[in-house]
Amino acid sequence: MGCCGCFGFAFAKKPNMLAKSEARLRNHGTPEFLVDEELEDEDDCSQNVDISDTRHGVNDELRSPTKRTEEILMYRTQRGLICREFPVKETHKLIRSEDENGNKMINEYVRESKIGSGSYGKVVLYRSTINGMRYAIKAFHKSHLSRLRVAPSETAMTDVLREVLIMKILEHPNIVNLIEVIDDPTTDQFYMVLEYVEGKWICEGSGPPGGLGEIKAQKYLRDIVFGLMYLHAHNIVHGDIKPDNLLVTAAGVVKIGDFSVSQAFEDDNDELRRSPGTPVFTAPECCLGLTYHGKAADTWAVGITLYCMVFGKYPFLGDSLQDTYDKIVNSPLSLPNHMNPLLKNLLEGLLCKDPRDRMTLGDVAEHAWVIGEEGPLPQYLCWCKRKRLQKEGSNGE
């Protein structure tokens, strides 16, 4: 996430941002300086920074899994191989207006406030005039994303379209739901209408050194594992599991979001190259420049996330990007002797540096600390499984 000492994107035009980015990484979890924070027009999603290729590799060979992902996703979509009872709404007409109070409107949606910045665009809270519900809308400029190179032959628009393709085939209570895509070919705007998660990311406000405490960390981890097991069962690797991408609803339910670097694979062939995720959450095998297995890398990131939830800090953090990678690969995991032995065992299993010996998500789901007093994780009968069972039933099988 290159050559950036800021653990995130490199800003050739704004070198003074490097120190701020390092400070944010240490204090809050992940650097996501994707959009100029000072822009006043929330619907203007252009970025006034020069972003280097730090999340996506540096050549076509490293980007080849993306092309394969798009082929797999298009195949599934065209043949109706999706796990959604109701498809994502696709709207090809954009009407920008104002309501009687002068608030900006996009089609049926009335703007309320800015939520934050996502990958390549801003996220704004809107309210539907039809059903009164609130939605988080990601807004992009197609022309800008099409000019923003993430590899010699690919642009940021490729990432956005891939994220849309992935979210179109998924639906789970622990995954942020995509409701509608607004893409008018006559305009430069592109919108993703997402369910609004009325909460914060899981570690926001906790800060070091306190953490969230075991009870809350256990509850959140169960939701994370439940959602991620669903993704892996549908041959999707998230690629960037971290607190910033884990949102908590008002009811305390964790939902996984941001699929901008996710990949799809066929069968059990989850071999990938060059991790595109956030460095401090990167698995050791991804730091070595070799191929790695995406599901095992996701599981490592779950372990780092759990460590952050419990201790309010990172287990492996250096003074530079290379130093951080060196610690991830070579430094032993340090855990307090007085901590809960079950939790210690779980963290050691998740943060095992050899992916062949690392715990799987199935192992995590059955671990005594995860089960706790809540009992085993529930069985989830997703839509595509329900359809298959119905079909088998109608055939008398």
233-255 exposure pattern, b = at least 16 Cβ within 10 A, e = fewer: ebbbbbbbbbbbbbbbeeeebbb
Rounded to 5°, the CA angle 245-252-203 comes to 45
Distance CA 328, CA 300 (A): 11
Q: In 217-368, at which residue ranges do the beta strands (DSSP E only) sit?
A: 236-237, 246-248, 254-256, 263-264, 271-273, 291-293
- From the list 170, 315, 321, the residue with the least C-alpha distance to 257 is 170
Residue type, 198: E
DSSP state for residue 279 in the 8-state scheme: G
Q: Which residues are catalytic?
A: 240
Residue 193 pairs in a beta bridge with 137, 180
Start-to-end CA distance of the chain, whole Å, equals 50
Phi, psi of 116 (to 5 degrees): 175, -160
CB atoms within 10 A of CB 396: 5
Contacts of 277 (CB under 8 A, 6+ apart): 1, 55, 239, 240, 241, 242, 261, 286, 297, 301
CA 381 – CA 226 distance, rounded (Å):
12
Distances (CA, A) of 334 to 244, 253, 281, 345, 384: 24, 30, 16, 12, 42
Closest listed residue to residue 285, CA positions, set 334, 351, 217: 351
Q: What is residue 246's three-state secondary structure?
A: strand
Indicate the SS3 state at residue 61: helix
Distance CA 160, CA 158 (A): 6
DSSP 107: T
C-alpha to C-alpha distances, 248 to 2, 131, 244, 245, 328, nearest whole angstrom: 32, 23, 10, 10, 28
